[in-house]
Structure 1
Amino acid sequence: MSILERETPRGALAEKTVEHWVGGASYAGESTRTGPVYNPATGVVAREVRLATSADVDAAVQTAKAAFPGWADTSWAKRQQVMFAFRELLNARKDEVAAILTAEHGKVTSDALGEVARGLEVVEFACAMSSHAKGEFSENVSTGVDVYSLRQPVGVVGIISPFNFPAMVPLWFFPIAIAAGNTVVLKPSEKDPSAANWLAQLMKEAGLPDGVLNVVHGDKEAVDALLTHPDVASISFVGSTPIARYIYETASKNGKRVQALGGAKNHMLVLPDADLDLTADAAVNAGFGSAGERCMAISVVVAVEPVADELIAKISERMSGLTVGDGTRGCDMGPLITKEHRDKVAGYLDVAQQDGATVVVDGRGVHADGAADGFWLGPTLIDKVSTSSKVYQDEIFGPVLSIVRVSSYDEGLELINASRYGNGTAIFTNDGGAAKRFQREVQVGMIGINVPIPVPVGHFSFGGWKDSFFGSAKAYGPEAVNFFTREKAITSRWLDPSHGGINLGFPQHE
């Protein structure tokens, strides 16, 4: 019996059509359009997903709008009880959702479980929302006058999440939004939609009232309907930079607050004094985990000479031991999400050769432990990549690791800062002074020092700089609390009769 047969919840992967989840129940809506959901490890269409019309999106928004007053008026204590119950259920049943991720995304089971674990961090942060969102109080700022603040939910919030983290990215947003008193319409990727429905059903089981969390599936029509809907107060998005820019500009024009996290080209700067064994391990882990389909993947190793040749040898040696296959078989790396994406990523190897780079390890000939028609591409290593090549400039979003050789720290820093992306970066060194200089001088939002994937823990906030981020607040952590709430400042004085009388002068603090 396979892991899917053992641990997948009844119905989660059995339904031939993935429907929307609106008002606490499955909802077909009026659309007759569907899209294919593949099993990437077999290349076979496993099920269809309903693609929402704008009317279907409106139905979900109106349901969320109707649920908002009651949920916003629910006490902090009761909201937190729901979040605590959800946390316990998610932790106890994480194998179920991990199996869904493996079946629809293709990532190996261990990586899927890691995704859920990082999402759980944010759920745990949301469990303490009454502490995170409490206001401030100043007594007697002027004679008999007190000033205090409070935070209130913004209303119906829209969340648009990507294919590469079907569970973690929704968990970055909706637990905080809901714990703060908002209601949610979530639009997951149509490529792997089932995890979102599973999470919504688990929230219902945890005691969340119907209509507070809704899921609509769809393509651009559904996205545009959310971006322009007059009853949606905010939009949260994670995806590629061109789409993030479009999301930000469209939603902002329609009066919404926006957090839109875009693409990345993450660099690892390796100084000559670095531990090259540790560095090689980190480069392989960060470059090829989840088949490179991570916005925080290391895709460029910037090697300060004379370490490049030795480092490449160590990376190549480790790559030779990696196994590729069906995520349920105990392999290291699974397939890519679709055939089209696999072919696009593989095409960059031809570009690299045309541009004069050296393909050290070619993943196109990988022998995968899985079906012949799976969307396979093995780990790939390219040396002497020019910064003018599209291999360097584009976010490839696959298991392709590029080596760029530089002569000094300053040249490497200049190269990183010249990138239009500023999501994540890392430096590998044993020199504390160099590390401190790097964290101060590099123009990137998330930095690792001997840490290759510097994703902040749940009580900090996630987000990059430059073309990697658009909007007013980063994801999760303290910035998300501010994003999903609005502050009120109250100036209060309780008068006694002796304070009466008319005074048309400007009020003064005394």
Structure 2
Amino acid sequence: MRTITHFIDGARVSDESGRRQDVFDPCLGRPQAQVILGDAGVVDRAVASAKVAQKAWAAVNPQRRARVMFQFKRLIEENMAELAALLASEHGKVISDAVGDIQRGLDVVEFACGVPHLLKGEYTDGAGPGIDVYSMRQPLGVVAGITPFNFPAMIPLWMLAPAIACGNAFILKPSERDPSVPVRLAELLIEAGLPAGVLNVVHGDKTVVDAILDHRDIKAVSFVGSSDIAQYVYGRGAANGKRMQCMGGAKNHGVIMPDADLDQAVSDILGAAYGSAGERCMALPVVVPVGEATAEALRARLIPAIEALRVGVSSDAEAHYGPVVSAAHKARIEDYIQMGVDEGAELVIDGRGFQLQGHEEGYFLAPTLFDHVTPNMKTYEEEIFGPVLQIVRVATSQEAIEMVSRHQYGNGVAIFTRNGAAAREFAAEIEVGMVGINVPIPVPVSYHSFGGWKRSGFGDLNQYGMDGVRFYTRTKVVTSRWPNDGGVVDQSFVIPTMN
């Protein structure tokens, strides 16, 4: 059985902690590798390497740092098949989904290739008599990212690409459930020309997370995970004086207006609700048809479309999605399905009990559909994070806006309509961070920024785009005045004289 080690100072390394954790194949339900779990000593070792490397890396001009990103982009593209297969084997995504995971991260690498332009400051000539003012963006130093299991390539790339391009050194703590791809990406970055130590990967559980949050030499931490943990990470890191950026959970809604193209909406909803087995913070697990006629028409189209979905192993090119990530997570989703039944929702399609021939121990769930879900139900209020779609019926579009805006999460929302005025009003009024208009998963492109509201996001700056550049840099403003040709400085401007 292979062993997945840390990656420190440009090489895979072990440690003496003695703790290991199984990495499972979700399609088979059995271990395929073991990952070494680190401790505070491993974090110290990684930070020590990063501190040394960061000073020299920050001194490299932005154009040369961008060339490393260009080479990294090329190597990811050349190794896409290997990376996707490795990702799918540990996460359970079908290959097409795994490629999408990597590609959305690659988009941010492409954005980071423009770092010479992104780091340009501002300049004011003649702000006062003989006085010029200019600003510059400088790296923070050593920064860190803590990433979840559901996007083992995309989210690490969202963080590390802008951080490193801006001149920082980066400590990555990926999920211990699917840790191989982040290590492989680190190797590719070294191959692209990144100096050893600028990117270090450490594996671990809460012990390593707390060590990162408490380490005095780590200046900023980016996190993606559940809201409860995001709030904990944000609070502990901020209390230690760190710049924090913590993305939490979600319960995204798709509002279906009476004039929507229902065939297109159903097609969009299927991929958004069930793609990647629903294990996405930007999944669309709730549809909100406006009016009973809309609800009945939507339901009539959804049922046969859902029943036609194919669940399969990661390598099945015909499968729409694969297993969930673990036996524990499968059991958690099944508990939520039973909870929905107990709360009085109508279980239209039950995905429990599904088995795939030859993979009976795999963590598979068929798609589930609930109707007549109400906002007071716990299954509506909480994030299920699985292949479960809920229908919540409302009478008016204003009721939909108010209901969505009241929800504890505010990550993403979509409206399906042909009415431009209604869509514009919806986008302006809704209290959610990312809005799609006839777009079911409104993840912004790489040169905008990703981030939710309320319990979906803790911190003032979002992921990637210019917010990512701002998060991983600090602004220095210089006010300058030079003596005249005779070497004389006008004393009338020396504080406190106010002549």
So what's the TM-score if we normalise by structure 1?
Answer: 0.95
CA distance in 2, matches of 1:299, 1:504: 63
Farther off after superposition, 158-167 or 320-329 = 320-329
Shift of 1:337: 0.4
1:145-187 residue CA offsets vs partner (Å, 9 max, x unmatched): 1111111100000100000000000010101000000001000
Q: Residues 73 and 354 (structure 1 numbering): CA distance in 2 closer, same or farther, change over 3 Å? A: same
Residue in structure 2 matched with residue 3 of structure 1 by the alignment: none
Matches within 5 A, 1:91-106: 91-106=77-92
1:71 paired with 2:38, answer no
Cross-structure match for 2:240: 254
The answer to whether structure 1 residue 308 and structure 2 residue 306 are counterparts is no
- Once the two structures are superposed, residues 444-470 of structure 1 have per-residue CA deviations (whole angstroms, 9 ceiling, x without a partner) of 000000000000000000000011000
Alignment counterpart, residue 452 of structure 1, candidates 406, 429, 440: 440
For 2:393, what is the secondary structure of its paired residue?
A: strand
1:293 aligned residue = 279
How far did 1:367 drift? 4.0
| Alignment pair present for 1:328 and 2:315 | yes
- Whether 1:417 and 2:420 are equivalent positions in the alignment is no
Alpha-carbon contact 2:63-2:115 (below 8 Å) kept: no
Identity value in percent: 48
**Counterpart residue number, 1:337:** 325
Q: Distance in 1 between matches of 2:172 and 2:490?
A: 55
Deviating beyond 2 angstroms after TM superposition, the runs of 4 or more aligned structure 1 residues are 365-370, 497-510
| Structure 1 vs Structure 2 CA RMSD | 1.4
Match of 1:371 in 2: 359
- The C-alpha deviation readout for 1:250-284, integer Å capped at 9, x for no partner, is 00000100100000000111111111111111111
**Counterpart residue number, 2:127:** 141
Contact 1:326 1:370 survives alignment (8 Å): no
How far 1:59 sits from its partner (Å)? 0.6
* Residues 105 and 192, structure 1, Cα contact 8 Å, conserved in 2: yes
Structure 1: how far apart are the matches of 2:244 and 2:84? Answer: 29
Look up the match of 1:118.
104
1:352 to 323, 333, 340: 340
The one-letter amino acid of 1:326's match is V
CA shift digits 1:478-505 (9 cap, x unpaired): 0010110111111111111374465586
Give the length in aligned residue pairs: 496
Q: 2-side partners of 1:507 and 1:462: how far apart?
A: 46
Task: State the Cα distance separating 1:368 from its structure 2 match.
Answer: 2.7
Aligned to 1:8: none
Amino acid at match of 1:322: L
> Does the Cα contact within 8 Å between 1:158 and 1:186 map onto a contact in 2?
yes
2:277–2:321 Cα contact (<8 Å) kept: yes
Query: What is the aligned counterpart of 1:235 among 212, 221, 234?
Result: 221
CA distance in structure 2 between the aligned counterparts of 1:179 and 1:339, rounded to whole angstroms: 38
SS of the residue 1:285 aligns to: helix
Q: Indicate conservation of the 8 Å contact 1:101/1:195, yes or no.
A: yes
Q: How does 1:262-281 map to 2 (within 5 A)?
A: 262-281=248-267
Q: Which moved more, 1:494-503 or 1:472-481?
A: 494-503
Q: Hey, what's the Cα distance between the residues in 1 that align with 2:110 and 2:483?
A: 43
Q: What residue ranges of structure 1 are gaps of 5+ in the alignment?
A: 1-14
Q: Which sections of structure 2, spanning at least 5 residues, go unmatched?
A: none
| 1:391–1:143 CA distance, 2 compared to 1 (3 A) | same
C-alpha deviation, 1:366, in angstroms: 2.5
Higher deviation after alignment, 292-301 or 92-101: 92-101
Q: Structure 2: which amino acid aligns with 1:184?
A: F
Measured in 2, the distance between the counterparts of 1:278 and 1:109 equals 24
Per-residue deviation, 1:412: 0.8
Query: Is residue 438 from structure 1 mapped to residue 445 from structure 2 by the alignment?
Result: no
